Amino acid sequence: MNDSRLDERSREEDAWPAATGVRPTDAEWDARIEAFLQQIRTDPSLGREQAQEALGELRGQQRLDLESRLMWLVGHSHLRDDRMVEAAVALHRAVGMAQTIRRVDLEADYLATLGAVQANMGAFSEAIESFERALGLHRSLPPSPADALLPAKILGNFGTTFVMMGLPHKALPLYQEARDRFLQLGLVRDVAACLSNCAFAQIKLAEREARSTSAPLSSAALAAARAARELAVQAQADPLLAAEVYSSINLRLMIVRADIILGDCAAALRELDRIDHFLVSDAHRSYWRTDRMILRARLLRLTGHASESVAGLQAVPLDDLTAVDQVSVLEELISTQESAGDLAGALASFRRYHELTLQARDQTAEQRGQVLNARLELERAQHQAEIERLRAEQLTLRNEELARQAHTDALTGLPNRRGLDAALANRIGRQHAEFACVLADIDHFKKINDRYSHLVGDEVLRRVGALMRELVRDGDVAARYGGEEFALLLDRVDARQAVEVSERLRAETAAQPWGQIVDGLAVTISLGVAMRQAGDSAEALLGRADDCLYAAKAAGRDRVVAL
């Protein structure tokens, strides 16, 4: 096994404080999520349970940013537990949430993890697509030191995907670029891990080349093995990796494999024996059992003990191993049986090997089908939610339009009496608001209708309304009060200013080219102005303005009267 498993990492945060009974702040959520992540690294099941409980706490709060981060944790925990289908489903949900709230940074991060899961499932084309999408999204973000880790992590996972695909030569430049980026960030642990991954890629390259019988490729195999051994020794010298049992043993196994290709079986055997001293628990011995067993059998075969190697490999209880380990054992057994001249046995082993690879293919297809079905269900749910959102949005717009229509005069487009009453009540409700109320009436409007028709009368109303809208300031109100009457609410004016505005409106109305509508048409208006007084009700203020308007008409019309 190798140390290049695709995984995720996050920045360090403070620990989550004890529960206080109040809703956590965003900073507290950050700390809590980091605590969950640390728990997942040591106990994925417990960390997942904590993240799922936190998701329940957020139900109904419309915090998709936090929900998506917690869903990512759920997916990450499944990845750590080798539950790839469950991991993919959770991560697809996290990606969907990030897309809904347009958080490109989160979407890129989640896609990077999803690509790791897809690669571990054997869905390599999908994994590459996820990595490329993640890198593309990251490039669209403003440069940020806090986000510089993501591309380095993606490059490393990209490289491991190529190793899994049997293309180690494509992985090497990606690991090296990731290493350079980690070095710039000062992340020495990740620099060392990239070095280890480079060693593993070189080993895979060397073993692939060693299977060829042509001399140039054999030379390439030896060169790759030397490079792998040198890298593994260099990584082994790093105190951070040396302190980790997993990394340390993997590096020693790489050295064994390199020595085998280089033909130094004695050195390989000595190194393999040393590894046993590091296997301090039954879990360790079980985890590396297959690798050690295969390498020991290979060494027996290469040192002329093929029959002993076959016996050891045939004694392996295959049913107790994972499908991947079963295939690895059978591959070695086939080679050993061929070396021993047992072609019939090699054929039987190959048939078992072929059966397992078909089963693995079917299992992979089934897993991908389960993920696809889950994605389709998620997309259907998202589609239905979008339909409901659009319906609600349309209903809101319709209600707003109905409310606008209820407060708007259809002929002039000005607020109607209902709209005027609402605006007036708002101003009356503000105790110290200073404003003027102006009522205007088109003079002899009935005669206009009778002489020129109601169509002409309607056009006169429209033009007077438009003129009022042009002359008042933003924030003032011009409304159709009823019939041929209009009203103005002029904010922050004194009596003199209110009269000046009214006089300007009167003069502009009289000066309009009314004859363009119909020959002989002339239009004037009369206006009454009343200032808001302390203790005024809307009725009282309108009553005083109406009294002034009546006085203007009684005085001969086409004039302004103020109180």
Catalytic center residues? 484
Structure tokens at 418: 């209902």
Structure tokens at 159: 């490289």
Structure tokens at 461: 């109303």
Q: How many CB atoms lie within 10 A of CB 369?
A: 11
Structure tokens at 95: 């990606």
- The answer to whether residues 148 and 186 touch, using CB atoms and an 8 Å cutoff, is no
What CA–CA distances, in Å, run from 475 to 17, 355, 530? 50, 81, 18
- Cα angle for residues 167, 357, 132 (degrees, 5° grid): 35
Per-residue H/E/C for 249-295: HHHHHHHHHHHHHHCCHHHHHHHHHHHHHHCCCHHHHHHCHHHHHHH
What CA–CA distances, in Å, run from 41 to 78, 105, 187, 357? 11, 23, 18, 31
Distance CA 371, CA 381 (A): 15
- 448-459 burial code (b ≥16 CB/10 A, e <16): bbeebeeebbeb
- 383-409 burial code (b ≥16 CB/10 A, e <16): eeeeeeeeeeeeeeeeeeeeeeeebbb
For tokens 């700390």, the residue is 31
